[in-house]
Amino acid sequence: MAPSDEPELEHIAVVGTGAMGTGIAQVAAQGGHPVHLVDTMPGAAEAARDRLATTLNRLANKGKITLAEADTTIANLNVADDLASLPPCLLVIEAIREDLGDKCQLFGELADHQPRTTILASNTSSLDITEIASAIPDPERVIGLHFFNPPPLMRLVEIIRGDQHDDEASSAPLRTADALMREWGKTPVHCTSTPGFIVNRVARPFYGEAQRMVANGVADAATIDLALREYAGFRMGPLELTDLIGQDVNLAVGTSVWEQTGRDPRYAPTDFQRELVAEGRLGRKSGRGIFTYDESGRALDASPDAARAQELVGGPVDTDPVARTLAMLVNEAVDLVARGEATADDVDTAMKLGTNYPKGPLEWGREIGYDVVAAQLAELDRVFPGGRYRASAALTEATTA
Ligand SMILES: NC(=O)c1ccc[n+]([C@@H]2O[C@H](COP(=O)([O-])OP(=O)(O)OC[C@H]3O[C@@H](n4cnc5c(N)ncnc54)[C@H](O)[C@@H]3O)[C@@H](O)[C@H]2O)c1
């Protein structure tokens, strides 16, 4: 990345060596950079380096990487005692716990210890990059680099710009981050610091509509999941997927987006999910969520009614799991693009890579027809008034296509 006469600029630091930091460190080290791991918990950074050495040796034994690659990557992993002992870095990636106060304090310290040219990136899933950046004197160097879990396997990285940035073409930190992510084999997309960024924002109705349909008695959870798998091509249905993610984790993301949008009814969490969480029905990890699981993680009570799914799909939109879900996904994506938060291509790429959707929502919108989607939303708004189903004004504007 850096000119070859400035080798010190190629160092990468990862602060916070939990689930995400460890995976990000692997990606950076495999990208050929000396990586420095820092964690405030005693022994955590050493443990992360040891875990990564085991992982890399296992990959070499399986023939996924060469032994030489494993050795070089392991040699690239260093443990730093604290922020003050880090070398000057090209990029520092923060992956500490999701707390604005902690992150602001950390970025302030990083700004003191690192050269002004060092890019300071946060892997936050939900906090505002503009707010994190306001903690330091040179806010333009602060960006969001939102990796997906697990970072070595997930290609998508959302690069987030805050109010401190011009567009990505003219901001050096954003351009450098884009080039670096491509060098690391990632597919970057760009987004403003809008609540939920692209993926966690656009995906909200995928879960919310399914929960509402089960709660309204349209069909049982397994049948709704089947309809979305069979008739829309989703790899997993929304209900089984939230059991996998964890109902508590999914509810926390949804609640964060809802709160950050001023409790916009479009993102209102459901009582259905709140009750699951209150009852400790968190999903696979607790043995019971929407479905009940055996020791191996197999759902014991997911018995879809295929005839019912077939009957619902193509019927009235308020009871059609596919039309209702897709209309909401398209609306959300169109709105995001129309507000200038991300490009249509980036939204489609993000949803396909970040959530494994078989198509991007804008692709779906073109296929279904934006006028059809607008009419479906108008019907949903008539059946369920209150603002959740209001159509984006941009749905009818050709510019969003
Ligand atoms: N887990 C996910 O699926 C996921 C996905 C994308 C983004 N994220 C985001 O990534 C970040 C980290 O998430 P995680 O799941 O890896 O968390 P985690 O709890 O597994 O790890 C956090 C680590 O940070 C360390 N830490 C805390 N404060 C610190 C400080 N001030 N300095 C140095 N180290 C510190 C902790 O000791 C811990 O090892 C969060 O902002 C989260 O929102 C998580």
Please tell me if the CB atom of residue 150 comes closer than 6 angstroms to any atom of ligand 1.
Answer: no
Domain 7-192, CATH homologous superfamily name and number: NAD(P)-binding Rossmann-like Domain (3.40.50.720)
Q: Comparing C-alpha atoms, which of 45, 13, 46, 9 is closest to residue 29?
A: 13
Q: Which atom number of ligand 1 is nearest to the Cα of residue 22? A: 16
| Strand boundaries in 28-141, DSSP class E | 35-38, 77-79, 91-94, 119-122
Q: Which atom of ligand 1 is nearest to the CA of 20?
A: 16
Q: In this structure, are strands 156-161 and 187-192 parallel, antiparallel, or unpaired?
A: parallel
Active site residues: 125, 146, 158, 200
Beta carbon of 123 within 6 Å of any ligand 1 atom:
yes
The one-digit pLDDT tens for each residue of the chain (401 residues) are: 444 444 444 999 999 999 999 999 999 999 999 999 999 999 999 999 999 999 999 999 999 999 999 999 999 999 999 999 999 999 999 999 999 999 999 999 999 999 999 999 999 998 999 999 998 999 999 999 999 999 999 999 999 999 999 776 679 999 999 999 999 999 999 999 999 999 999 999 999 999 999 999 999 999 999 999 999 999 999 999 999 999 999 999 999 999 999 999 999 999 999 999 999 999 999 999 999 999 999 999 999 999 999 999 999 999 999 999 999 999 999 999 999 999 999 999 999 999 999 999 999 999 999 999 999 999 999 999 999 999 999 987 744 44
pLDDT for the residue numbered 188: 98
CATH of 201-400, one of 3.40.50.410, 1.10.1040.50, 1.10.630.10, 1.20.910.10: 1.10.1040.50
**Is ligand 1 within 6 A of the CB of residue 200?**
no
- Please report the pLDDT score of residue 166 as a whole number: 79
What's residue 398's pLDDT? Answer: 47
- Ligand 1, residue 105: give the atom nearest the CA: 31
Q: Residue 3: what pLDDT? A: 45
Ligand 1 in reach of 16 Cβ (< 6 A): yes
The rounded Å distance from CA 385 to ligand 1 centre is: 39
Among 26, 27, 39, 97, the mutation site with the greatest number of ligand 1 atoms within 8 A of its Cβ is 97
**Tokens representing 349?**
């790429």
Q: Yes or no: say if 212 and 235 are a contact pair by the CB < 8 Å rule.
A: no
* Residue pLDDT, tens place only, 145-202: 999 999 999 999 999 999 999 776 679 999 999 999 999 999 999 999 999 999 999 9
- Find the 384 Cα to ligand 1 centroid distance in Å: 39
pLDDT of res. 6: 46
Atom 2 of ligand 1: nearest residue by CA position: 149
Helices (H), 97-203: 100-113, 129-133, 172-183, 199-202
* Probe residue for ligand 1, chosen from 14, 85, 96 as the CB with the greatest number of ligand atoms within 8 Å: 96
- Cβ atoms within 10 Å, residue 114: 21
Which strand (E) or helix (H) includes residue 161?
strand 156-161
In this predicted structure, what is the pLDDT of residue 237? Answer: 97
Check if 102 has its Cβ closer than 6 Å to any atom of ligand 1. Answer: yes
pLDDT recorded at residue 396 = 74
The three-class DSSP label of residue 189 is strand
Measured in Å, residue 97 CA sits from the centre of ligand 1 at 4
In angstroms, rounded to a whole number, what is the distance separating the alpha carbons of residues 147 and 149?
A: 7
d(CA 240, CA 301): 11
Domain extents in the chain = 7-192, 201-400
**pLDDT at residue 2 in the model:** 46
Q: How many CB atoms lie within 10 A of CB 17?
A: 27
The verdict on the CB of residue 106 being under 6 Å from ligand 1 is: yes
How far apart CA 12 and CA 16 sit, in angstroms, is 13
Query: What is the distance in A from the centroid of ligand 1 to the CA of 126?
Result: 12
Cβ of 97 less than 6 Å from ligand 1: yes
123 Cα: distance to centroid of ligand 1 (angstroms): 8
22 lines ligand 1 (CB under 6 A): no
DSSP state of 299: B
Q: What is the pLDDT of residues 332-352, one digit of tens each?
A: 999 999 999 999 999 999 999
